[in-house]
C-alpha cells in the first residue's frame, strides 16, 4: 500500500521561501548566472570569475540547485534553460536586476500580518506618495517585464508600419514602450506622463537608444494632469492599474478614451487574475504586495478590466498572454 502520510518537505520549502529570494538576488548581484552562461561550471571557477569566496560560491550553487535554477551533472554546474533566458545580464528580458531589487523589499514583508488586519499600508506608504524615490529603483528593474508586452503589442497593432502615429504612455517609467515602439517606427512620436525624476531616467534611456528627439515628457500626477482630447493613436497604461482602485481605473480609462482619436487603441499591461481568482500563481501573490504598498490596489480580474473599459466607452476588449503579465487591448 502507498504511504499517504503528508510530508513536511513542501511546507519547509515554503516557510523558508525568503531564502530563494536571497539566494537568487545574491547570485544575480555577483553575476553568477552570466558567469555560468560563459562557461564557468564549478564553485572554484565561479569564485575566481565573480571575485567571491569559494565557500560562498558553493553555498549559492547548492541553493540554486535546490530552487531548480541550476543543474548539476557529474560535478559540473549549468544554468537551466529558464535561468539562461531570464537571469543572464544583458538580455532584454533579463530579470537579474528585478531579483536584486526584491532583496531590498524583503524587510517590508514583516509588516504583512498587521497590514492584513487593518486592510492597507501601516508604514512606508509607496503608491500615494508624490515623487517617491521608490520608483527610480523599480522602473528600470521592471522594464524587462514590459519588453515582451511592448513587443507583442507592436506586432498585434502593426505599429512598425503605422506611419506618423502619436503615442501617450501614462506612468511610462523607464520609457520602455516608447523606446521599443519609436525604434520600430521612425515616424512615430511619444509622450510620457510621469513624475519628474522618473521622466529624467526615461529621457536618458531613450537618448541612449537614439530616439529622444521624438520623445516628450510631461511631469506630474496622472490623476490630475489633463490627457487632452482626440490627440493620440495609441495610449499605454502598464503596471499601473494594480496600484489603483476600481473608481480610479474607470476614471483614468475614461480620460484615456477621450485622449484617443476615433479608432485609437488603449494598451493595458498588468498582472491579471482569472475571474474565479484561481490563478495565475504570481498575480495571486502580488495582491498582497499591493495590500502592503497601496490604499486601494490589488491584482484585478479579467472581468474587472472588461467592465471598467466598457464603462469608459471602449467597444472591444481583448486579452493576450504576455508572461508574466497579460496584455489588454481596448478599442
Ligand atoms: C510599476 S511602474 C511601471 C512603469 C512602466 N509603465 C512599465 O510598465 O514598465 C509605475 C510607474 O507609474 C508612475 N506613477 C505612479 N503613480 C503615479 C502618479 N500618481 N502620477 C504619475 N506617475 C505615477 C511611477 O513613477 C512609475 O514610473
Q: What is the Cα–Cα distance from 24 to 21, expressed in whole angstroms?
A: 5
What class is the 125-330 domain? alpha beta
The answer to whether residues 91 and 138 touch, using CB atoms and an 8 Å cutoff, is no
Q: What is the pLDDT of residue 127?
A: 82
239-284 pLDDT per residue, tens: 999 999 999 999 999 999 999 999 999 999 999 999 999 999 999 9
171 Cβ closer than 6 Å to some ligand 1 atom: yes
CA 233 / ligand 1 centre spacing (Å): 21
Give the position of cell 547570485: 27
The topology (CATH level 3) of 9-107 is Arc Repressor Mutant, subunit A (1.10.10)
142 Cβ closer than 6 Å to some ligand 1 atom: yes
Q: Which residue, by CA, sits nearest to atom 16 of ligand 1?
A: 127
Ligand 1 pocket check: which of 150, 153, 171 to mutate, most ligand atoms within 8 Å of Cβ? 171
Q: What is the pLDDT of residue 125?
A: 66
135 Cβ closer than 6 Å to some ligand 1 atom: yes
139 Cβ closer than 6 Å to some ligand 1 atom: yes
For the chain, residues with pLDDT lower than 50 are: none
H helices present in 77-133, as ranges: 81-86, 96-105, 112-118
Domains 9-107 and 125-330 agree in fold: no
Domain boundaries, the chain: 9-107, 125-330
Q: What is the pLDDT of residue 2?
A: 64
307-322 pLDDT per residue, tens: 999 999 999 999 999 9
Q: How far is CA 53 from CA 26, 32, 48, 87, 260, in A?
A: 13, 13, 8, 21, 56
CA 61 / ligand 1 centre spacing (Å): 35
What does the block give as the cell for 92? Answer: 532584454
Amino acid at each position: 500500500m502507498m504511504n499517504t502520510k503528508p510530508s513536511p518537505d513542501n511546507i519547509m520549502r515554503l516557510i523558508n521561501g525568503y531564502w530563494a529570494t536571497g539566494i537568487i538576488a545574491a547570485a544575480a548581484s555577483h553575476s553568477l548566472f552570466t558567469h555560468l552562461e560563459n562557461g564557468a561550471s564549478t564553485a572554484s571557477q565561479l569564485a575566481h570569475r565573480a571575485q567571491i569566496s569559494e565557500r560562498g560560491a558553493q553555498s549559492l550553487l547548492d541553493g540554486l540547485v535546490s530552487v531548480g535554477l541550476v543543474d548539476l551533472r557529474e560535478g559540473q554546474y549549468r544554468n537551466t534553460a529558464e535561468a539562461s533566458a531570464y537571469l543572464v545580464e544583458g538580455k532584454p528580458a533579463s530579470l537579474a536586476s528585478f531579483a536584486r531589487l526584491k532583496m531590498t523589499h524583503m524587510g517590508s514583508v514583516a509588516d504583512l500580518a498587521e497590514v492584513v488586519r487593518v486592510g492597507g499600508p501601516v508604514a512606508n506608504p509607496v503608491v500615494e506618495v508624490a515623487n517617491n524615490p521608490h520608483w527610480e529603483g523599480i522602473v528600470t528593474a521592471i522594464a524587462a517585464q514590459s519588453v515582451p508586452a511592448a513587443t507583442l503589442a507592436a506586432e498585434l497593432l502593426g505599429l512598425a508600419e503605422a506611419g506618423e502615429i502619436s503615442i501617450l504612455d501614462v506612468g511610462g517609467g523607464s520609457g520602455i514602450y516608447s523606446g521599443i515602439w519609436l525604434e520600430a517606427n521612425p515616424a512615430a512620436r511619444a509622450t510620457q506622463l510621469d513624475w519628474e525624476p522618473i521622466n529624467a531616467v526615461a529621457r536618458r534611456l531613450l537618448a541612449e537608444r537614439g530616439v529622444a528627439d521624438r520623445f516628450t515628457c510631461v511631469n506630474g500626477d496622472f490623476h490630475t494632469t489633463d490627457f487632452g482630447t482626440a490627440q493620440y493613436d495609441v495610449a499605454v497604461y502598464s503596471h499601473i492599474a494594480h496600484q489603483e482602485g476600481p473608481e480610479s481605473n474607470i476614471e483614468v480609462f475614461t480620460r484615456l478614451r477621450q485622449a484617443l482619436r476615433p479608432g485609437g487603441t488603449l494598451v493595458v499591461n498588468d498582472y491579471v487574475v482569472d475571474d474565479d481568482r484561481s490563478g495565475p500563481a504570481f498575480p495571486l501573490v502580488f495582491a498582497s504586495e499591493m495590500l502592503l504598498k497601496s490604499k486601494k490596489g490589488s491584482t484585478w480580474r479579467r472581468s474587472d478590466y472588461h467592465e471598467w473599459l466598457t464603462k469608459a466607452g471602449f467597444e472591444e476588449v481583448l486579452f493576450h498572454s504576455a508572461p508574466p503579465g497579460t496584455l489588454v487591448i481596448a478599442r
